[in-house]
Amino acid sequence: MKNIGLLLCSVAGFFIILGCLFYNSLLIDMDKIKDYITESNLILEDVIENEEKVNSEKGEYISRLLTIKKGMENANTSFLFEKYKIIKTSSIELLIDAISEDNEEERKEYLELVFKSNNESQKELDTLMDKNFIEVTYLCLKTYISI
């Protein structure tokens, strides 16, 4: 009987360690690309609020976004995070299209697609980080989730 209890405790400990490694891997991956995501969100904010400034400096904004996209693609992350990275990269591509577009209606359509892509990436991140587990274990992930 004593051996069965020891075996159950060992198995439970193994699953706890496995879960911690999973979340640690996600946090490390998010830490690698959080600067790129923050910068792209700042550019999106400029596009929404300061259209005149963005129109006058299109080349600079596009080159910044291309640098962000290349940096995000080259970031060494685990296979768990690939779908999130692909969705965020497509969001950056759509933002580049929105900035380079001269027609106002087309620009608005691209911005709507950017917002849809950002929402989809947030849903993917929420799926990866199962909020119920986070709330139960009180892991401090709010800085990474709200990006």
Return d(Cα 87, Cα 123) in angstroms, integer: 11
Domain ranges for the chain: 26-145
pLDDT computed for residue 133 by the predictor = 53
- Calculate the dihedral angle through the C-alpha atoms of 51, 54, 58, 63, rounding to the nearest 10 degrees: -130
Length of the chain measured in residues = 147
pLDDT, mean over the chain:
83
Return d(Cα 7, Cα 13) in angstroms, integer: 10
pLDDT computed for residue 71 by the predictor = 92
User: Minimal CA–CA distance to 69: which of 101, 111, 39?
Assistant: 39
Query: Looking only at Cα atoms, what is the longest distance across the chain?
Result: 76
Lowest mean pLDDT among 18-27, 93-102, 111-120: 18-27
Given a contact cutoff of 8 angstroms between Cβ atoms, the answer to whether 107 and 98 are in contact is yes
Using a 10 angstrom Cβ sphere, with 0-12 exposed, 13-18 middle and 19 or more buried, the burial of residue 25 is middle
Return d(Cα 68, Cα 18) in angstroms, integer: 32
Q: What is the pLDDT of residues 12-69, one digit of tens each?
A: 888 888 888 888 888 888 888 889 999 998 998 988 888 888 888 888 989 999 999 9
pLDDT computed for residue 144 by the predictor = 47
pTM: 0.76
